[in-house]
Amino acid sequence: MIFLVRHGRTAINAGNKLQGRIDHPLDEVGQRQALELASGFSEIKIDRVLSSPLKRAMQTAQALSGKVEVDDRFIELDYGSFDGMLQADVPAEIWKKWRADNNFRPPGGETLAELDLRVRQALNELIEEARTKNIVVVSHVSPIKAAIAWSMGSDVGASWRMLLDRASISRIDIGPNGPVMRGFNDTSHLSEI
C-alpha cells in the first residue's frame, strides 16, 4: 500500500498563497496536524517513509518515523514567479491557460507534465515493494494529485478537479492489475483542518 500524505499547514499556505518551492516550516497548527497524523497511523505498520526535501514535508514525515528517506521527485511543483503569490492575484487568463494545458509553464517554473513524469517514475519504482509493504510518501498538493491521477489511469490534468486538505491521507493499493485508489483526502485523524 502507498499512503500519500500531504504536509501540515504553514503560514504561507494558511494565507491562500502558492507556496511552491518556498521552504517554510510548519506553523503551530501544522505541527499539531503532524502529531495527529502520526496518531492516525498508530494501528498501521509503516515499513518505509519517503519525503519531499522541503521542511514542511520533512517535519510531517519525522512525526511518523525517525527514519525518513528524501526523494526529490516528490517535491512541490515549481510555480516560478508565482511562488508566494495569492492565488487570487494570478491573472484569470493565466489560470485558464494553466488549467487547459499540462505543458503550460509559469514564468521560471515547471509544467504539470514535467511534474507528472517525475512523480510517475518514482511511483513505478515503488509498485513491487508496495504490494507487500506499507510505504508512506509525504509530499505536497500537486505531486499527490499527480499520484492520484496515475492510480486511476488518468491524465494529470484531472488534478485540477481534486481538492486535497493539509495533513490528509490518500491510499493507493497495488492490485494484480496495478494501482487502485483505496482512499482519498482522509482527514478523520485531525481535530481541525
168, 125 Cβ separation under 8 angstroms: no
Q: How far apart are CA 113 and CA 111, in angstroms?
A: 5
pLDDT score recorded for residue 192:
74
CATH 3.40.50.300 fits 2-186, yes or no: no
pLDDT score recorded for residue 108:
96
Mean pLDDT confidence for 93-109: 94
> pLDDT grade, residue 87 (50/70/90)?
confident
User: What does the domain layout of the chain look like in residue ranges?
Assistant: 2-186
Give residue-wise pLDDT tens across range 137-173: 999 999 999 999 999 999 999 999 999 999 999 999 9
With H, G, I as helix, E, B as strand and everything else as coil, classify residue 180: strand
Q: Write down the pTM of the prediction.
A: 0.96
Q: With pLDDT > 70 as the criterion, what percentage of the chain qualifies?
A: 99
